[in-house]
Each structure stands twice: as structure tokens, then as C-alpha cells.
């Protein structure tokens, strides 16, 4: 409310600045002709100079003659008298006043309406102050942690705490450095590696660099089901031009996640961006994917595992997919290929066995 009064007062003052001279009486003949005055002063100046001895008499004479010639000409050119009184002058004043009274407020309000943010005028001043106080607290907390870390650079916990704060302050590169230090001092851990990879990606404006990819792969090795690295690795595939691979990986991630997981939206968006018909959410929140899609996804996974190998979980998922599709023989074959591929890894073999048991693939037993 107060602000509207202020704006109104500003407008009134602006209009008054124009109305004030229009309302004054004008004293006729207030100002002499400036030209003749100028040359008169010039001649007086020449005389003063001559008196001070700066000009020689002959010089002064010549200069005075020249100024006199110009004075004569100026007198001859003296203009018409000012037209400040009479009916036309009065009409002009009224027109100018109307112009000022209308143009200034209307133009100012219209311009402000278009480009300003009048809705912010009502904002209680407290909100901003609180916000600023909050950000000040944050700043001093950051400064404290920073100085602590400068003295104890081996405090991995500290680095881990400050990293997400850096990220929120828009300092992605510092966040990456902090995670790097956290990994160095606290050891690699799947979530930590995934977060590290993520800030590397954010620092590069969404590009998954080789460094970030390595971090994600490391994280997956430690915890194969972690969605974040799988998501970014899928994006890496898309960025490398392997759209099919990316699609399969996203679909896989989608099918392996609960329907209400926070990342499903992002995954669906990425899938849509890849040009795949976006799997619309079903009524129960179940993705409705056509059988063809599933078949293609599964074969994509199978091809990848065949060509590049994979983790036990991926093999297990392939087995389950075949089972779901009712292709038991293929599931059995997949179990066998998995055992061959993972023969060095007891834990992995156990995962495969568990899955085989779960799917009752009795004929797939070794």
C-alpha cells in the first residue's frame, strides 16, 4: 500500500515539473539579445587587454574593428519578439498541460505494467530479510568448514559434507574436488562415487566425461543395482551415439525401479528425448510397454551381455526377463552363458544360482 502512495507521489512530482513552468507568468523582455551582448562584452574585453598590456594598440585596434563589424551584423539580424501573451499563447499552454497530464502517467504506468513486476510490490519486506539471513548463515557455515578443512585436509567426512553445499552454491568444480578428497580419505563407496560422477557431469553442463564414466562404472562394480550410475551411463551411451544401447539401459532401469521412484520421470524424459515412444504410466502406475518393446529391450540386453559381458545382476535380470516372456529355454541358455562368463566369481555364481532357483529353472543346474 505504502509503495503505491510512493509511486503516485513520484508521478505527481514528475507532472508538476512540467506544469510549474507552464503556470508561471512570463516577464516580457527579460532576456536581451545574446548576440549583441556577446560582441559588446568582447569589445570591452579587448579594451581591458589593451589596458593590461597584453595586446599591442595596433592589435587591439584591428580586433575591435572586427568585433564591431560583427556587432553591426548581429544587430541587423535581431529576431522577432517573444509571443508569450494573448489567446493563442493561452491555448498552447492548455494543450501542453493536457499533454503532460496525460502522457507522463499513462506512458509510465503502461511501461511499468509491461516490463515491471508489480506483483512483487506487495511482498512483505520480512521474506527477503529472512532469505538473506539464511544465505548469510550458509555462507558463514561454509567459511567455517573451509577453514577447518584448510587445517585438516585429511578430514574426509568434512569434504563429504561440504561437497553438496558447493553444488547448491553453483560451484560444481569445487564440489567435484571435495568428493575427490572424500573418496581419497574415506575410501571408495558406491554412493560417494556416484555423487562424484554426478558433480563431474554437472560441472561439464551435463556431459558425461570419461572421468565421470569411470567413476560410475566403479560405483556399479561396488553396488550393481544403484540407479544413479546406471542412469548416467545410459546417458553416456546416448552421448556416444549408441542410442539403442542407451534406450535399452534406460528401459532396464525403468523396469528395475519401483514405479514411484523419484528418477522415473527423468528416465522417461531421457527416453522420450531419444525418440522412443514414451512408455505412458498405467493406471496402477505400471509402465505399459508392448510385448515388442520388451522383446527388443531384452534382446538388446542379451546382445550386450553376449558382446561385452556384464555383472551377475544383469545376467540374472536377463534370465528373469526371458522367464517373464515365457521363453524358458532362452532363460536356461542365459543361465548357462552366465555361468561361463562369471566362472571366476563365486559370489556372482551364487547370484545366478539363486535366480535360477527362484525361476525354477531346474534343468539349468550345472
| 197, three cell numbers | 560422477
Q: Which is nearer to other proteins, 117 or 283 (CB)?
A: 117
| Shortest distance (Å) from residue 71 CB to other proteins | 11
Give the three cell numbers for residue 294: 520388451
Smaller CB distance to other proteins: residue 45 or 329?
Answer: 45
User: Contact, 211 vs 181, CB < 8 A?
Assistant: no
Which residue's CB is nearer to other proteins, number 151 or number 344? 151
Q: How far apart are CA 147 and CA 40, in angstroms?
A: 76
- Look at residue 287 and give its three-state secondary structure: strand
Least CB distance from residue 196 to other proteins, whole Å? 18
Closer to other proteins by CB, 6 or 272: give it: 6
Nearer to other proteins, 204 or 328 (CB): 204
Rounded to a whole number of angstroms, the minimum distance from the CB of residue 266 to other proteins is 22
Per-residue 3-state assignment (H helix, E strand, C coil) for 319-344: HHHHHHHCCHHHHHHHHHHHHHHCCC
- How wide is the angle at C-alpha 7 spanned by C-alphas 6 and 9, nearest 5°? 65
d(CA 200, CA 311): 25
Report the residue number, 36 or 255, with the smaller CB distance to other proteins: 36
Residue 2 or 280: the one with the smaller Cβ distance to other proteins is 2
Q: Is the dihedral of CA 146, 148, 152, 155 positive or negative?
A: negative
Which residue lies nearer to other proteins by CB, 113 or 346? Answer: 113
Q: How far is the CB of 159 from other proteins (least distance, A)?
A: 15
Give me 147's grid cell: 577453514
CB 233 within 8 A of CB 220: yes
Nearer to other proteins, 178 or 361 (CB): 178
In the complex, least distance from residue 92 CB atom to other proteins, rounded to whole angstroms: 6
- Tally the C-alpha atoms within 13 A of residue 285's C-alpha that lie toward its C-beta: 7
Quote the least distance from Cβ 265 to other proteins, whole Å.
22
Q: Which segments within 132-261 are labelled E, that is strand?
A: none
Instruction: Tell me how far, at minimum, the Cβ of 169 lies from other proteins, in Å.
Output: 5
**Backbone φ, ψ for residue 287 (5° rounding):** -65, 130
In whole angstroms, give the CA distance from residue 251 to residue 298. 10
Is the Cβ of residue 29 or residue 366 nearer to other proteins in the bound state?
A: 29
Shortest distance (Å) from residue 120 CB to other proteins: 6
- Minimum distance, C-beta of residue 194 to other proteins, in the bound complex (Å): 23
Nearest distance from residue 171's CB to other proteins, in Å?
Answer: 6
Q: Which long-range contacts (CB under 8 A, 24 or more apart) does 78-83 make?
A: 78/33, 78/35, 78/36, 79/33, 82/26, 82/28
Report CA dihedral (129, 133, 138, 139) to the nearest 10 degrees. Answer: 90
26: Cβ contacts below 8 Å, ≥ 6 apart: 82, 84, 85
Amino acid at each position: 500500500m505504502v509503495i503505491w502512495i510512493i509511486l503516485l507521489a513520484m508521478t505527481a512530482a514528475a507532472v508538476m515539473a512540467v506544469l510549474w513552468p507552464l503556470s508561471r507568468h512570463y516577464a516580457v523582455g527579460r532576456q536581451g539579445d545574446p548576440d549583441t551582448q556577446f560582441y559588446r562584452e568582447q569589445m570591452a574585453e579587448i579594451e581591458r587587454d589593451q589596458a593590461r598590456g597584453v595586446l599591442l594598440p595596433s592589435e587591439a585596434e584591428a580586433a575591435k574593428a572586427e568585433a564591431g563589424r560583427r556587432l553591426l551584423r548581429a544587430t541587423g539580424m535581431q529576431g522577432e519578439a517573444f509571443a508569450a501573451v494573448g489567446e493563442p499563447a493561452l491555448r498552447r499552454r492548455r494543450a501542453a498541460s493536457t499533454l503532460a497530464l496525460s502522457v507522463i502517467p499513462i506512458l509510465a504506468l503502461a511501461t511499468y505494467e509491461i516490463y515491471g513486476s508489480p506483483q512483487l510490490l506487495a511482498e512483505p519486506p520480512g521474506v527477503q530479510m529472512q532469505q538473506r539471513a539464511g544465505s548469510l548463515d550458509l555462507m558463514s557455515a561454509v567459511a567455517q568448514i573451509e577453514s577447518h578443512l584448510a587445517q585438516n585436509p585429511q578430514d574426509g567426512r568434512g569434504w563429504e559434507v561440504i561437497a553438496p553445499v558447493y553444488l547448491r552454491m553453483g560451484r560444481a568444480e569445487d564440489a567435484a574436488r571435495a568428493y575427490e578428497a572424500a573418496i581419497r580419505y574415506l575410501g571408495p563407496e558406491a554412493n560417494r562415487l556416484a555423487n562424484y560422477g554426478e558433480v563431474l557431469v554437472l560441472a561439464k553442463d551435463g556431459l558425461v566425461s570419461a572421468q565421470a564414466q569411470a567413476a560410475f562404472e566403479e560405483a556399479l562394480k561396488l553396488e550393481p543395482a544403484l540407479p544413479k550410475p546406471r542412469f548416467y551411463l545410459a546417458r553416456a551411451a546416448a552421448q556416444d551415439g549408441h542410442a539403442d544401447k542407451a534406450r535399452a539401459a534406460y528401459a532396464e532401469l525403468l523396469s528395475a525401479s519401483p514405479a514411484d521412484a523419484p528418477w522415473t520421470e527423468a528416465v522417461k524424459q531421457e527416453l522420450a528425448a531419444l525418440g522412443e515412444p514414451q512408455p505412458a504410466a498405467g493406471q496402477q502406475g505400471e509402465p505399459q510397454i508392448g510385448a515388442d518393446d520388451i522383446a527388443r529391450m531384452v534382446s538388446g540386453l542379451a546382445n550386450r551381455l553376449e558382446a561385452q559381458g556384464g555383472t551377475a545382476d544383469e545376467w540374472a535380470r536377463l534370465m528373469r526377463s526371458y522367464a517373464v516372456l515365457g521363453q524358458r529355454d532362452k532363460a536356461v541358455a542365459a543361465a548357462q552363458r552366465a555361468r561361463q562368463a562369471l566362472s571366476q566369481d563365486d559370489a556372482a555364481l551364487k547370484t545366478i544360482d539363486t535366480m535360477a532357483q527362484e525361476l525354477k529353472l531346474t534343468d539349468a543346474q550345472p
